[in-house]
Amino acid sequence: MIQKVLIANRGEIALRIIRACRELGIKTLAVYSEADVQSLHVQLADEAICIGGPRGADSYLKADRIIAAAEVADVDAIHPGYGFLSENARFAEQCEKCNIKFIGPKSKSIEMMGNKSVAKETVRKAGVPIVPGSDGPVTSEAEAIKAARKAGYPVIIKAVAGGGGRGMRIAHNDISFAKEFHVASSEAEKAFGNGAVYIEKFIEKPRHIEFQILADSHGHVIHLGERDCSVQRRHQKLIEESPSPFLTPSLRKAMGKAAVRAAEAAAYENAGTIEFLVDAKGNFYFIEMNTRIQVEHPVTEEVTGIDLVKEQIRIANGEKLGYSEAIQKGHAIECRINAEDPARNFAPSPGTIGLYYAPGGLGVRVDSHAYSGYTIPPYYDSMIGKLICFGKDRPTALRRAHRALSEFLVRGIKTTIPLHRAIMSDPIFMEGKATTAYMEDFFARTPPDVFV
Ligand code: ADP
């Protein structure tokens, strides 16, 4: 049984994992960089070990140092959170070899789903619809153009090793394709150390709808309903909600079944997410699987009442899922609060927070590592917290989010709070009509002083 967990992460997700462990009576070990000495995860864990310099590459990405810390402190398991080493198959394998439980899937599943073209082929064989495109990576320009013409323009060029919305390019004809193809592969090489790219048909104005999966080590796979993550900027999620205002019961059922089949095809274990794009007609296509806990997991927790991080730990302990389906009730919505200036093209806004006051009241949850006087280091991603609001239905959840955002005070830095407040009262969003093209349209018709 797991008695002590090393948390190989920082920020709000490290706190989230500490909270689950504490409620389960499990001891925690935080690891931290020199820039995070003042961080809450270091203060709140039972023990803490410094593993290196401020940059992620010198600390949170240093697998050997993390394993060494795990051995010194004698932990049974490592929770990787999201980002950093969470989807690194070699790290999971190293843990397996050192007899430390990796709280996540087996390294083989991470490897299979981490390569996006292998992932697509795997789920296609299991009968899950995928976006039309090249069969695997394309290497030469001639082969790539052939695949683009076959899929039909517009197409999107994506990095096989991509993630975080980076490394994607759209092309509308042969001429722009030739240029974008070379830019995409050299960008992928620089960003991911792997220049391989593949081609997909660009689905116009789709919704991004994903299904949360839980799978135990006894072969049981269930889904916990969907999250609609269509509100994105530069392919990065800003707002997530559950249920999706777009899905009908029959489409939800079909997509849920497909998601379970996809996880089964990867021999998946632990918590994971199957992401789909859904077009205006309700056709859905698998795009990728995320083999870790996600930023937006709280919306699923709010509508199902299931603590996903505790479930991850239970599954890693070899326990069986105690239920064959999860019931969803009410509506939950999450706003990602970033230290960025929405009125100045989302310029990063690191620095010291003066006053910090988080909203509260019925149905309001804030997962954040920020506090009054906290200095946000410039080395990591800009998210400083998440506001999750729950209500009996969508209008209640949206009004509650608008109210909570008005109470949320983060002085001294710029944040995305005013932008979220504007979206919560935007008629198109309120009608449930947002697709992945929503933000572009919102910016085009909204004067920036609305979110100052
Ligand atoms: P990443 O792993 O970098 O997050 P994804 O494959 O999950 O990349 O895609 C992220 C987002 O990019 C999607 O939510 C969607 O908005 C957009 N996208 C990806 N593939 C397509 C496609 N074929 N057509 C239209 N939009 C796409």
CATH code for the domain of 153: 3.30.1490.20
What is the helix (H) or strand (E) element at residue 242, kind and residue range? Answer: strand 236-242
Contact 326, 253 (CB under 8 A): no
Assigned domain for 112 exists:
no
Q: How far is the CA of 116 from the centre of ligand 1 (A)?
A: 11
Does the C-beta of 236 come closer than 6 Å to ligand 1? no
Give mean pLDDT, residues 151-180: 91
The total of structural domains in the chain comes to 3
Angle value at C-alpha 144, between 88 and 280, nearest 5 degrees: 80
Same structural domain, 191 and 277: no
Tokens (6 digits) for 426? 């935007």
How far lies 112's CA from each of 80, 130, 246, 262, 444, in Å? Answer: 18, 16, 30, 12, 40
Indicate whether 11 belongs to any domain.
yes
Residues 147, 95: one domain? no
Residue closest via CA to ligand 1's atom 9 equals 165
H or E stretch including 228?
Answer: strand 221-233
Residue 448 confidence class, pLDDT cut points 50, 70, 90: confident
pLDDT at 422 exceeding the cut of 90: yes
Q: For residue 259, what pLDDT is reported?
A: 98
Q: Is 243 inside any structural domain?
A: yes
- Cα distance between residue 340 and residue 405, in whole Å: 16
Asked whether 208 lines ligand 1 (CB < 6 A), one says yes
Cα distances from 259 to residues 165, 215, 246, 262, 305, in angstroms, run 21, 12, 17, 5, 21
Pairing of strands 284-290, 270-278: antiparallel
Average pLDDT over every residue of 118-145: 94
Q: Domain containing 27: what range?
A: 4-103
Q: Is 287 in the pocket of ligand 1 (CB under 6 A)?
A: yes
379 and 362 within one domain: yes
Predicted local distance difference test score (pLDDT) of residue 247: 98
Query: How many CB atoms are located within 10 Å of the residue 416 CB?
Result: 27
Catalytic residue among 10, 292, 314, 421: 292
Q: Is 238 found in the same domain as 364?
A: yes
- Is the beta carbon of 156 within 6 A of some atom in ligand 1? yes
Q: If you ran DSSP here, which 8-state letter would residue 436 be given? A: T
CB of 286 sitting under 6 A from ligand 1 = no
Q: How confident is the model at residue 166 (pLDDT cuts 50, 70, 90)?
A: confident
Residues 266 and 406 in one domain: yes
Is 181 within a domain? yes
* CB of 82 sitting under 6 A from ligand 1: no
Same structural domain for residues 298 and 226?
yes
- Boundary (domain end) residue, out of 59, 84, 103: 103
The CATH number of whichever domain residue 34 belongs to comes to 3.40.50.20
Nearest CA to ligand 1 atom 11: 235
Best of 287, 292, 295, 296 to mutate for ligand 1, by most ligand atoms within 8 A of CB?
287
Can you give the pLDDT at residue 361? 98
Domain boundary among 178, 201, 224: 201
**Residue 68 domain-assigned (yes or no):** yes
Amino acid occupying residue 444? A
The CATH number of the domain holding residue 367 is 3.30.470.20
CA-derived radius of gyration, the chain: 21
User: Are 77 and 165 found together in one domain?
Assistant: no
> 140, 7, 16: which is closest to 77 by C-alpha?
7
| Distance between first and last Cα of the chain | 50
The answer to whether residues 140 and 280 belong to one domain is no
**Last residue in a domain, options 166, 201, 236:** 201
Other Cβ atoms less than 10 A from the Cβ of 251: the count is 17
Range list of β-strands (E), 339-410: 340-341, 347-348, 351-352, 356-357, 364-368, 375-376, 383-391, 409-410
One domain for residues 42 and 186 = no
Give pLDDT tens digits for 295-331: 999 999 999 999 999 999 999 999 999 899 999 999 9
Answer yes or no: do 186 and 218 share one domain.
Answer: no
* Cis peptide, bond prior to residue 243, ω within 30 of zero: yes
For residues 196 and 75, state if they share a domain. Answer: no
Kindly state whether residue 125 falls inside one of the protein's structural domains. Answer: no
313 against 194, higher pLDDT = 313
| Site to substitute for ligand 1 among 277, 295, 441, most atoms within 8 A of C-beta | 277
In a domain, 123, yes or no: no
Q: Do both 290 and 186 map to the same domain?
A: no
> Residue 108 domain-assigned?
no
pTM score: 0.97
Task: Look up 292 and say whether it is catalytic.
Answer: yes
> In angstroms, what is the span from residue 19 Cα to ligand 1's centroid?
32
Confidence at 205, pLDDT banded by 50, 70, 90: very high
Distance CA 139, CA 113 (A): 21
Contact 222, 260 (CB under 8 A): yes
